Amino acid sequence: MNPEEFLVSELGSRTIPSPLNLSHTKGDGVYDYIDDAERILYDVSYINLKKNQETGINPISFEKAGPLAKIYFDPSKTKAAIVTCGGLCPGLNDVIRGVVMQLQERYGVENILGIKYGYAGLVPESKLPFIELDSDMVDEIQHKGGSILGSSRGNQDVSVIVNTLERENIHILFCVGGDGTLRGAQAIAEEINKRGLKIAVAGIPKTIDNDINFIRRSFGFETAFSIATDIIRDCHNEAKGYFNGISLIKLMGRDSGFIAAHTALAQQDVNFVLVPEMDFDLDGPNGFIEALRKRLERKNHAVVVVAEGAGQKFFNCETEEKDLSGNILHKDIGLYLRDKITTTFKNQNFPFSLKYIDPSYIIRSAPANANDSMFCNMLAQNAVHAAMAGKTSFVVGYWNSQFTLLPISLAVKERKKIDTESDFWGSVIGTTRQPVKMNAI
């Protein structure tokens, strides 16, 4: 990795004193401004830090997020806009509220627009009106699931979007979304830069799958696996209620299985976790179905959790379909597993009772839990601090228990995935007691 990749762009010199009236002095009991030089180490292991010291190479690090003593935009003249894109996720309204409250109540920005239904709301032909946002309007929206602004998928003409930003005299665009949204934000920022405009683009990471690179945690993820944990508990009861009862639950996780894995660790009644990162076979003496049969013969019930992107090799698709955001549309592994288990066990005259559950959209639409709501607010506050200081084309991250800033280009370079050789996955295997490998050969 190149340390230069971790540098965040700025629109220009910061010359305006911050209206926050914070402190520069440690120990005076007042929250301090951060210093430009403050950074958060990527790797905190002693061995690697010592190696960097010996070689004289600067370690990889992130810019620390937080309030700066001098800002770029004059709050009295600043106009901001907020857009939410992609699939619904717990905490969207919390982030909207956090951005508006911080802009208006702390920085004194009075002109804040809500963009309806994702990037489509910035395209005139969509004929979607802007919403004027203020602290009174957003005061209680955190109690509701979904997004008061609505959302959408799909690419829009970047030139048209920047035309709208320029015409409406918008100085800061807050883009709340996952990989596709952030790629769109990066393209918008590049077009803005090409035109020489002074418009900041700020990303706030929203992905229920927790799969954004260089960000330990994205909002909505904790709520998702917390709700899934309650569902798994009930599914366990359902499985135990029948002889050789099987509860098969499909959870979100298009390319990364973090929700499925965290749910298994939190609710320790799960016996098998199947995720996109692992290779497994269904048939054969060492395959999943034989392992499931042995579990049933031993315990007479089983709980199976599968991430939506697992096992795609079983479909042998020659062509890949994509959704409007450019994501590969995976085939339904949940239904495939349900039918495969049913057919195999019936052919073997093996008695069983299988229940299939897909709670995905219920989870996506739920309001954030307490910890996620707090996290959303802190992400929003740090996004506002950075944007008001003229930072652009950045996303607010979270690394080593600190809020960070990183270029959007770095965040979308590749997806974060479970390392199946890690201690984390080892804990999943230890908790479920499933075979370390389930391959035919």
Average the pLDDT over 314-323 and give the result.
69
One-character DSSP codes across 369-390: -HHHHHHHHHHHHHHHHHHHTT
| Per-chain mean pLDDT for the chain | 93
Q: Mean pLDDT lowest for which of 64-68, 349-353, 359-363, 382-386?
A: 359-363
d(CA 408, CA 214): 10
Condensed to tens digits (0 to 9), the pLDDT of residues 364-399 reads 889 999 999 999 999 999 999 999 999 999 999 999
Give the percent of the chain with pLDDT over 90: 81
CA R_g for the chain:
24
pLDDT at position 58 is: 81
d(CA 25, CA 360): 48
Domain boundaries, the chain: 3-218+366-411, 223-364+420-432
Residue 229's SS3 state is: helix
pLDDT at position 321 is: 67
Residue 224's SS3 state is: helix
Q: How confident is the model at residue 210 (pLDDT cuts 50, 70, 90)?
A: confident
Q: Mean pLDDT lowest for which of 5-19, 280-294, 305-319?
A: 305-319
CB 7 within 8 A of CB 391: no
d(CA 270, CA 232): 8
User: Crossing angle for the helix pair 333-347 and 288-299, nearest 10 degrees?
Assistant: 60
Q: How confident is the model at residue 154 (pLDDT cuts 50, 70, 90)?
A: confident
pLDDT at position 408 is: 96
Residue 138 has pLDDT above 90, yes or no: yes
One-character DSSP codes across 279-319: -B-SSSTTSHHHHHHHHHHHHSEEEEEEETTTTGGGG--SS
Name the CATH topology of 223-364+420-432.
Rossmann fold (3.40.50)
Q: How confident is the model at residue 47 (pLDDT cuts 50, 70, 90)?
A: confident
Average the pLDDT over 281-289 and give the result.
95
Q: Give phi and psi for 303, each to the nearest 5.
A: -115, 125
Would you name the residues annotated as active-site residues? 209
pLDDT at position 337 is: 97
3-218+366-411 and 223-364+420-432 share one fold: yes
Instruction: Between 405 and 47, name the one with better pLDDT.
Output: 405
Q: Give phi and psi for 137, each to the nearest 5.
A: -65, -35
Amino acid (1-letter code) at residue 307: A
Residue 286 has pLDDT above 90, yes or no: yes
Condensed to tens digits (0 to 9), the pLDDT of residues 89-119 reads 999 999 999 999 999 999 999 999 999 999 9
Q: What CATH number does domain 3-218+366-411 carry, 3.40.50.450, 3.40.50.1100, 3.10.129.10, 3.90.640.10? A: 3.40.50.450
d(CA 21, CA 437): 57
Instruction: Between 354 and 54, name the one with better pLDDT.
Output: 354
CB 304 within 8 A of CB 337: yes
Q: Mean pLDDT lowest for which of 25-29, 240-244, 392-396?
A: 25-29
Closest among 143, 142, 212 to 175, alpha carbons compared: 212
Q: How confident is the model at residue 137 (pLDDT cuts 50, 70, 90)?
A: very high
d(CA 176, CA 193): 20
Residue 77 has pLDDT above 80, yes or no: yes
CB 250 within 8 A of CB 357: yes
- Give, rounded to a whole angstrom, the gap between the first and last alpha carbons of the chain: 36
pLDDT at position 317 is: 65
- Contact residues for 359 (Cβ-Cβ < 8 A; gap 6+): 227, 228, 231, 249, 251
d(CA 365, CA 331): 22
Q: Give phi and psi for 62, each to the nearest 5.
A: -105, 150
- Contact residues for 12 (Cβ-Cβ < 8 A; gap 6+): 72, 198, 390
Burial of 161 (0-12, 13-18, 19+ CB in 10 A): buried
CA 398, 399, 400, 404 torsion: positive or negative? negative
Q: How confident is the model at residue 153 (pLDDT cuts 50, 70, 90)?
A: confident
Residue 318 has pLDDT above 70, yes or no: no
Q: How confident is the model at residue 319 (pLDDT cuts 50, 70, 90)?
A: low
pLDDT at position 52 is: 74
pLDDT at position 3 is: 78
pLDDT at position 31 is: 92
Neighbours of 306 (CB within 10 A): 26
Q: How confident is the model at residue 320 (pLDDT cuts 50, 70, 90)?
A: low
Q: How confident is the model at residue 327 (pLDDT cuts 50, 70, 90)?
A: low
- In the structure encoding, which two tokens stand for residue 146, read together? 């979904």
Average the pLDDT over 398-420 and give the result.
93
Burial of 13 (0-12, 13-18, 19+ CB in 10 A): exposed
pLDDT at position 50 is: 79
Amino acid (1-letter code) at residue 408: I
Question: Would you put residue 54 in left (φ > 0), alpha (ψ -120 to 50) or beta?
Answer: alpha
